[in-house]
């Protein structure tokens, strides 16, 4: 089948103007809302099974672990985590009000006593050392960087914003807790918080295309794929 020239661009324009989720994204971009990182909300159920399972195993002995899904989109990640951590308190946060409405609609259809959703683009208001695990999946990346792979990222998503977010998330994590970051344009090992963590799991080895990656100077890093994905905070048992 032949592709119609310009069809992809027409579809993108249609979604931006007429789809409620994309209209909400466009409004956030227009208002330059603080905390907006990845503007798109593509997701699906059980998207990262190996990492979900690993953290589930690590926390199996804890009676009621608290889990944060930061940038939860329309909630599929949170509902997936409930399968691996059935006794957990699960909190999903997303900056897009439309996404949170979708989360709440799903929750109304399938109530879960330990699940809640909040509309926010920051972790600054969350209590220190309050979570046993935090997931930040496909949040600290941007479609423009992925498609164009420019030499620098500062005008789209600077490293400083990633470093600031990681600092916030690390503060909210209990000693011995797990921070999971995957599908990012930046390396956790470059952050100020990295010294307080151990790497305990890599992402799927077949993912040779995980970048592009950008360093602390906002310049593109040309080299092997960065696969570190799950980090354990020092301290705790």
Domains of the chain: 1-32 (no CATH), 35-233 (3.40.50.150)
CA 159 to chain centre: 15
**Residues 140-174: pLDDT tens digits?**
988 888 889 999 999 989 999 999 999 999 999 99
For 152, left (φ over 0), alpha (ψ -120 to 50), or beta?
beta
Question: With left for phi above 0 and alpha for psi between -120 and 50, is residue 73 left, alpha or beta?
Answer: left
> What pTM was estimated for this model as a whole?
0.85
Cα(66)–Cα(68) distance, integer angstroms: 7
Q: How confident is the model at residue 1 (pLDDT cuts 50, 70, 90)?
A: very low
Q: What is the mean pLDDT of residues 226-234?
A: 95
What are the tens digits of pLDDT across the range 168-180? 999 999 999 999 9
pLDDT band at 2 (very low <50, low <70, confident <90, very high): very low
pLDDT of residue 142: 86
């Amino acid at each position: 089948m032949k592709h119609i020239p310009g069809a992809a661009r027409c579809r993108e324009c249609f979604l931006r103007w007429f789809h409620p989720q994309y209209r909400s994204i466009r409004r956030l971009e227009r208002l330059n809302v603080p905390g907006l990182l990845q503007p798109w909300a593509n997701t699906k159920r059980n998207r990262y099974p190996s990492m979900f399972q690993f953290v589930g195993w690590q926390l199996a002995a804890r009676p009621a672990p608290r889990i944060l899904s930061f940038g939860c989109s329309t909630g599929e990640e949170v509902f997936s985590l409930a399968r691996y951590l059935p006794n957990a308190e699960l909190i999903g946060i997303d900056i897009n009000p439309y996404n949170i409405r979708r989360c709440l609609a799903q929750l109304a259809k399938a109530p879960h006593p330990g699940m809640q959703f909040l509309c926010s683009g920051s972790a600054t208001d969350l209590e220190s050392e309050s979570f046993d695990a935090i997931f930040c999946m496909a949040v600290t990346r941007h479609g423009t960087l992925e498609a164009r792979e420019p030499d620098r990222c500062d005008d789209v998503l600077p490293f400083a914003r990633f470093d600031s977010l990681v600092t916030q998330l690390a503060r909210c994590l209990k000693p011995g807790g797990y921070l999971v970051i995957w599908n990012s344009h930046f390396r956790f090992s470059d952050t100020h918080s990295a010294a307080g963590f151990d790497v305990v799991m890599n992402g799927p080895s077949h993912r040779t295309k995980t970048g592009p990656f950008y360093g602390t100077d906002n310049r593109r890093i040309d080299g092997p794929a960065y696969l570190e994905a799950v980090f354990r905070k020092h301290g705790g048992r």
